[in-house]
Amino acid sequence: MNSQHEYVLRTVEERDIHFIRLWFTDILGAQKSVVISPSELESAFEEGIGFDGSSVEGMSRISESDTIALPDPSTFQILPFDKDDPQLQAARMFCDIVQPDGNASLVDPRQILRRHVAEAASEGFTAQASPEIEFFLLKEYKETGLLEPTDNGAYFDQASQNSAPRFRSYAMLALESMGIATEMSHHETAPGQQEIDLRHADLLTMADRIITFRYVMKRVARDQGIHATFMPKPFQLYSGNGMHTHFSLFEGETNAFHDPDDEFALSTTAKQFIAGVLEHANELTAVTNQWANSYKRLMFGNEAPTAATWGVSNRSALVRVPTYRLEKADSRRVEIRSFDSLVNPYLGFSVVLAAGLRGIREGYELADPAEDDVYNLSHRERRAMGYRDLPKSLDQALRIFEKSEFMADVLGEHVFEFFLRSKWDEWHDYQSQITNFERRLNLDF
């Protein structure tokens, strides 16, 4: 037992916590949970919680199904719900998945990200991320039974005439009570669409926070009689849900992305990182945008990137370099705009970090920034400017992904193969659907 274990045990006793929720995710990012009583907590720290890994998508084969969830005491937080019923008071911890011999599981997304964070550290870097997470709030119309936006607001509107006017306030308070610092919140461009920005943290901590964020948003929404969805593009006429994420690398206390003598205050390290992300953008898109629906956002969403470009304050580029506070070293960062809000953050962060580090390691050259609205350029104009289009469908993304030795190395053989099989199944199921559009077009032709 170390001091973190002792702190958790003491807090559970002092705060009269009745349930401990142990969280992890499968390969696609679906949240998994097992609940234990406080009396089992000390044993869980020492031995972990055994479970059938073959019953979790992609976790292990039936012949090697014994798997252990090992609670990480550094992630302990009391859940800010059910305060009116002390008997239901619960806390949560994230788990690392390990094998019976104690070695890290090669298929645990959290362990995969931990491995790449360690590789960055071996090269002297600590990676930080700060996401801007978009989602829709929906209400059910009794007349139709359909879910529709809770309001008709637009960008930065003061939401006073909607079904949940205090939602963001309650949500931010819930996050802050769990130690998740927020920077700002506001109404986004589409009716019912919200955005909450999280303050920067190291990648592993931030990935945990994103999983927690989704849980908290859905729970707060449910408590107010509405629904929260992170679906990349739930409505044809409205923008999709992106998760624009700001990345920076630090060497000790020094921001490795900052150079006060550069026009845009970007260091050589930052430029090589961007070049790495752009070079491998098409290979990693299947991970950062893993759903068939993701490409409805990329191809038809407002300000969603459609080509592997970078730009200064250019919101149509895949990688945007913000120009706020250029002279402030700690603020120098790059914004990756391809992520949607349903990415598995552990795998998404892993592939972007690995691509950026390869760019630094191998000295990739960065082309000139895009100054045009890339979204509105024709394919001929893009080719003439040297821009590579991002995949336009999950099908295209998977065809590129499956040929990438780099992605196989980043994710590991088992995760790479399972991810491919799972996503090809999704694409084939998607293709087999007969839509109302097709019926309207062809039924009576």
Query: Is the distance from CB of 397 to CB of 285 less than 8 angstroms?
Result: yes
pLDDT at 62 over 80: no
pTM above 0.75, yes or no: yes
Distance between CA 340 and CA 71 in Å, rounded? 28
Average pLDDT over residues 139-168: 78
Q: Decide if 3-101 and 116-436 have a common fold.
A: no
More confident residue, 291 or 189: 291
Q: Taking Cα atoms as reference points, which of 153, 144, 150 lies closest to residue 163? A: 150
Quick one: 116-436 is in which CATH superfamily?
Glutamine synthetase/guanido kinase, catalytic domain (3.30.590.10)
> What pLDDT digit, counting tens, does each position of 98-149 carry?
988 888 888 999 999 999 999 999 999 999 999 999 999 999 877 777 899 9
Distance between CA 402 and CA 416 in Å, rounded? 8
Q: Count CB-CB contacts under 10 A for residue 402.
A: 17
DSSP secondary structure string for all residues of 193-243? EEEEEEPPEEHHHHHHHHHHHHHHHHHHHHHTT-EEE--S---SSS---BE
- Token code pair at residue 420: 């491919």
pLDDT of residue 345: 98
Taking the CA atoms of the chain, what radius of gyration do you get in angstroms?
Answer: 22
Mention the CATH class of domain 3-101: alpha beta
Q: How much is the mean pLDDT over the chain?
A: 92
Q: Residue 79 — very low, low, confident or very high, per pLDDT cuts 50/70/90?
A: very high
Q: Which residues contact 183 (CB under 8 A, 6 or more apart)?
A: 130, 197, 198, 199
> What pLDDT digit, counting tens, does each position of 238-284 carry?
999 999 999 999 999 999 999 999 989 999 999 999 999 999 999 99
- Please give the DSSP secondary-structure letter assigned to residue 375: G
pLDDT at 52 over 80: no
Q: Where are the domains of the chain?
A: 3-101, 116-436
pLDDT at 334 over 90: yes
- Token code pair at residue 107: 């298929």
- Please give the DSSP secondary-structure letter assigned to residue 351: H
Percent of the chain with pLDDT over 90: 76
Highest mean pLDDT: which range of 70-84, 203-217, 431-445: 203-217
Distance between CA 426 and CA 435 in Å, rounded? 16
Average pLDDT over residues 330-351: 96
Distance between CA 80 and CA 180 in Å, rounded? 12
Average pLDDT over residues 33-40: 94
